[in-house]
Amino acid sequence: MRKVAIIGVGQSKFGELWDSSFRDIVLSAGIEALEDAGLEGKEIEAMFVGNMSGGRYLAQEHIAALIADYAGLAELHIPSTRVEAADASGGLALRQAYMAVASGMHDIVIAAGAEKVTDVGSEAAMEILASAADREWEVFAGATLASLYAMIARLHMEEFGTKPEDLAMVSVKNHKNATLNPKAQFRREISLEVALNSPYVAEPLRLFDCAPLSDGAAAVILASEEVAKKYTDTPVYISACCQASDYIALHNRKDLLTMQAVVHAAKQAYKQAGIEAKDIDVAEVHDSFTIAEILAYEDLGFAKKGEGAKLIREGVTSLDGDIPVNPSGGLKACGHAVGATGIRQAVEITLQLRGEADKRQVDAERGLALNVGGTGATAVVTIFTR
């Protein structure tokens, strides 16, 4: 397998982008990535697109061919492939692109992620997002993603003494980080009090425990090491990009408090990169709900099982802590444009490792991204190095 580098990154603003179409949003991210890499579109050899529900949000499938077309690449007839694993779709796109270059099949490829969510209204959007869970055994019985994560949060509190304040602190941290990110959906700090007094979405999860509905897109351009050197002096290498699966319905899992897909993907990724959890300097993790960030600390090995909340209490994952987590603002405050999220995380880690993250810059040589589908039936862990 060849060494693979990220040579260009781009991201649209995340948020309620009512004045832009799905196509506009994807293009803005793609063009930014091409400009960042100093590439022309015609040098792209293949495209991979992460998108969860174009069929339901837009009445449009065949998303990857559509994007290749609107990006002006139809004349090149390049293979353009959509992948889907709920909100881990972006991570899958990154992984397919990584494999295409690592295997020697292609020299330069683009991985994009995109979702236009808010046009359908929040009730429909929530129902569509619930199709990440098991429709027959969970959703038909009334479960939503929030209610499923609420059960996990409740059990975590029972078993390990995690408190509503701990969850709220994750939200406060991520909102604070987002104030430094011009692409973020929410750029205002919130106080612990505001978070703790926000209305319940699914008890014990309150409004500020839940990532918002967002439109957005992101793109990264990957190249082989040799080719990368022609385009950039600051390549960011992907040392591992591993994907794992798990039971889709929570009731089938032996332990609700461990996402086995995350554990397995992380274990493989650390092994492939030849490092351990403690070697990670910065991470973007999948905080679709605040409890998910606490679980991520544990399942990625940043903390022992049950002790995730300690990291947030002690400021270990703050921007100035030992392992800054979600410097972008995370899904909570940068926004969660579903299929775009896994790619957006890669954009942030790349900027951090290049030293181009401006006011939210942390000191980092090695970064990690964790993208999760639904309640954890899919996980992708990617490790990046300077």
Distance from CA of residue 66 to its chain's centroid?
23
Q: What is the DSSP string of 268-296?
A: HHHHHHT--GGG--EEE---SBHHHHHHH
CB 252 to its own copies: min, Å? 7
* Whole-angstrom Cα Rg for the chain: 19
CB 162 to its own copies: min, Å? 25
Q: Verify binding: residue 288, its own copies, rule CB under 8 A.
A: no
Q: Verify binding: residue 64, its own copies, rule CB under 8 A.
A: yes
- What dihedral angle (degrees, nearest 10) is formed by the CA atoms of 14, 224, 245, 262? -70
Of 7-15, 103-111, 200-208, 274-282, which segment contacts its own copies by CB under 8 A? 103-111
Q: Which two tokens stand for residue 3?
A: 């060494």
Q: Verify binding: residue 68, its own copies, rule CB under 8 A.
A: yes
The one-letter amino acid at 327: P
Q: Verify binding: residue 56, its own copies, rule CB under 8 A.
A: yes
Q: Verify binding: residue 27, its own copies, rule CB under 8 A.
A: no
CB 208 to its own copies: min, Å? 26
Q: Verify binding: residue 58, its own copies, rule CB under 8 A.
A: yes
Q: Verify binding: residue 283, its own copies, rule CB under 8 A.
A: no
Q: Verify binding: residue 102, its own copies, rule CB under 8 A.
A: yes
C-alpha span between 80 and 274 (Å, rounded)? 32
Closer of 9 and 241 to its own copies (Cβ): 241
Q: Verify binding: residue 100, its own copies, rule CB under 8 A.
A: yes
Count of beta carbons in the 10 Å neighbourhood of residue 142: 8
Options 55, 164, 306, 321; binder of its own copies; rule CB under 8 A: 55
Options 11, 12, 81, 385; binder of its own copies; rule CB under 8 A: 81
Q: Verify binding: residue 244, its own copies, rule CB under 8 A.
A: yes
Q: Verify binding: residue 171, its own copies, rule CB under 8 A.
A: no
CB 108 to its own copies: min, Å? 16
Residue with tokens 């106080």: 191
Q: How many CA atoms lie within 13 A of 380 on its CB side?
A: 27
CB 264 to its own copies: min, Å? 4
Residue with tokens 């529900």: 53
CB 116 to its own copies: min, Å? 12
Q: Which two tokens stand for residue 299?
A: 């399942």
- What dihedral angle (degrees, nearest 10) is formed by the CA atoms of 206, 127, 331, 200? 0
Q: Verify binding: residue 258, its own copies, rule CB under 8 A.
A: no
Q: Verify binding: residue 138, its own copies, rule CB under 8 A.
A: no
Sort strands 236-245 and 4-11 into parallel, antiparallel or unpaired: antiparallel
Q: Verify binding: residue 69, its own copies, rule CB under 8 A.
A: yes
Q: Verify binding: residue 128, its own copies, rule CB under 8 A.
A: yes
C-alpha span between 206 and 28 (Å, rounded)? 33
Q: Verify binding: residue 370, its own copies, rule CB under 8 A.
A: no
Options 74, 124, 141, 192; binder of its own copies; rule CB under 8 A: 74
Interface with its own copies in residues 224-243 (CB under 8 A): 242-243
Residues 6+ apart with CB under 8 A from 239: 272, 273, 274, 275, 383, 384, 385
The one-letter amino acid at 19: D
Closer of 99 and 190 to its own copies (Cβ): 99
Q: How many CA atoms lie within 13 A of 228 on its CB side?
A: 23
Q: Are 251 and 148 in contact (CB under 8 A)?
A: no
Q: How many CA atoms lie within 13 A of 161 on its CB side?
A: 3
Q: What angle do CA 78, 369, 68 make, to 5 degrees?
A: 15
Options 264, 344, 354, 360; binder of its own copies; rule CB under 8 A: 264
CB 268 to its own copies: min, Å? 9
Going by C-alpha positions, the residue among 301, 308, 257, 262 that lies closest to residue 149 is: 257
Options 357, 373, 382, 385; binder of its own copies; rule CB under 8 A: 373
Closer of 77 and 230 to its own copies (Cβ): 77
Task: Please give the residue ranges that form the binding site for its own copies (CB under 8 A).
Answer: 1, 21, 23, 52-56, 58-66, 68-69, 73-74, 77-86, 92, 95-96, 99-100, 102-105, 127-128, 131-136, 139, 242-249, 252, 260-261, 264, 373-374, 377-378
